[in-house]
Amino acid sequence: MSRQQQLVPISIADLEHNAHITLALNALDYYRSGANDMQTLKDNQDAFSRIRLRPRILRDVSKVDTQTTLLGHTVGSPICIAPTAMQRLANDAGEKATARAAAKAKKCMILSSWSTTSAEDTIEAGKEVPEDLSSPGLPLYWFQLYVYKDREVTEQLIRRVEKAGYKALVITVDTPFLGRRLADVRNVFKLPAHMNMANFEHKDSKVTMATILDENPAEAQAESLLERTAQNGPEAAATGRTTKVVRQESSLAAYVVSQIDPTLNWKDIAWVRSVTKLPVVVKGVLTAEDAALAAEIGVEGILVSNHGGRQLDGVLATIDALPEVLDAVKGKNVEVYVDGGVRKGTDVLKALALGAKAVFLGRPILWGLAHDGEDGVTLALNLIQQEFELAMALAGCCKISDITRNHVQHGTDARSRL
């Protein structure tokens, strides 16, 4: 059996392939896993393939413009960056690298509450990138909020991100408990000792990270596939670690139990709205019923998400849930976005054709980071951006408002118009 080769990446799939070879198993498994049987994780991507495109022809597509607005801010494209925790596991520059790549591409980035770089340092890194005046639009930073049991901790975090310049709060509502990701349990997931949840690093912070910090770094960091292959031959590399299943629950799940408030309900969303002037987006809506409640409470945005298949396994693929959410808020002043399984330019086109205002990418950004830090994230963003521009042109669309529901249908039956 030959050792797996890294590819010169020309697609998100290539970046993922490379990350599978280079990342340490502890990080790779944390990033790639879904919950339980990972049905929903798979379906997020499969569902895009079930949707077919209906291109229009002869429309002068010599110039394609992807500019759009998100909650009143102009950005270069509807392709955005979803919040993913602990980015320094992929590359030491972590969230700073992502913020700089977002700035260069004039894209929207959502920073995770559980970043390994503080909210202030992350946005500063983005602001250091010289402004590109050649086209309109600016980078945009939003902050993803986990509501802590301790509301004082939550409110302090809100004050900090308001001051730092984040333009919206994205409240994650699908994680009262952490989904069961088997690989993290097997690997006894730990955050290496030189990293931390940087938004809570102050010594007087009431947030304890004891469950996830690695007290024995030499042991817990399983090697990358490359290292495992070199040491043990391809068979050992394929099987990975086989020893030490010592816990039934991952350290991350234990952390969530200790800190995150499982009593979270609609009143808390109203509470967050009452303590900030920032617009609020709820992340994790999958049904028309909840979309209607969110609109009633007055949130500014809904992110249709199943957390990348990492929470409740067996839920609908997000692109399948999107139409009912859109229908439920029709005529209301709410922007609707989607994440989950977006890997190609045609996926972006399909999501926008169904009515999403923007799409967010989770894992592709991590694969880019793992490949080459800031340049790797830039590459990931550019690859999908170029694919999207080509898909728009081939479908006869010059600008975002040209993309309509008539550009998609379900499956191959011409009567299955969406």
Ligand X SMILES: CC(C)CC(=O)C(=O)O
Ligand Y SMILES: Cc1cc2nc3c(=O)[nH]c(=O)nc-3n(C[C@H](O)[C@H](O)[C@H](O)COP(=O)(O)O)c2cc1C
Residues in binding site for glyoxylate: 30, 146, 181, 307, 310
Residue 256 is a binding residue for ligand X (CB under 6 A): yes
Q: Taking the CA atoms of the chain, what radius of gyration do you get in angstroms?
A: 21
Active site residue 307: yes
User: Measured between alpha carbons, how far is residue 264 from residues 269, 359, 398 in Å?
Assistant: 8, 26, 43
User: DSSP assignment, residue 351?
Assistant: H
Q: Which of residues 381-400 bind ligand Y (CB under 6 A)?
A: none
User: Measured between alpha carbons, how far is residue 97 from residues 56, 158, 338 in Å?
Assistant: 38, 23, 24
Q: Which of residues 12-51 bind ligand X (CB under 6 A)?
A: none
Helices (H), 302-362: 318-328, 345-354
**Binding pattern for the stretch 229-268 against ligand Y, x by CB under 6 A and - elsewhere:** ----------------------------------------
Q: In terms of CB distance, is 252 or 379 closer to ligand X?
A: 252
Angle at 155 between CA 152 and CA 161, to 5 degrees: 140
Residue 305 contacts which entry, ligand X, ligand Y, none (Cβ below 5-8 A, type-dependent)? ligand Y
User: DSSP assignment, residue 24?
Assistant: B
Binding residue count for ligand X, defined by CB under 6 A? 8
Q: In terms of CB distance, is 110 or 326 closer to ligand X?
A: 110
E strand or H helix at 14, and its extent?
helix 12-22
Binding residues: 30, 83-85, 112, 144, 146, 172, 181, 283, 305, 307, 310, 339-343, 362-363
Q: Which of residues 157-176 bind ligand X (CB under 6 A)?
A: 175
| DSSP conformation letters of 140-184 | EEEEEE--BSSHHHHHHHHHHHHHHT---EEEE-S-SS----HHH
Q: In terms of CB distance, is 66 or 115 closer to ligand Y?
A: 115
Answer for which of 12, 23, 81, 85 binds ligand X (CB under 6 A) is: 85
Residue 171 is a binding residue for ligand Y (CB under 6 A): no
What pairing do the DSSP bridges indicate for beta strands 301-304 and 68-70? unpaired
Least gap, CB of 293 to ligand X (angstroms): 22
Residue 252 contacts which entry, ligand Y, ligand X, none (Cβ below 5-8 A, type-dependent)? ligand X
158: nearest Cα among 146, 141, 149? 146
Q: Measured between alpha carbons, how far is 95 from 128 in angstroms, rounded to an integer? A: 14
Q: Which of 307, 371, 407, 410 is catalytic?
A: 307
Residue 84 is a binding residue for ligand Y (CB under 6 A): yes
Q: Which residues bind ligand Y (CB under 6 A)?
A: 30-31, 44, 82-85, 112, 114, 144, 172, 283, 305, 307-308, 310, 339-342, 361-363
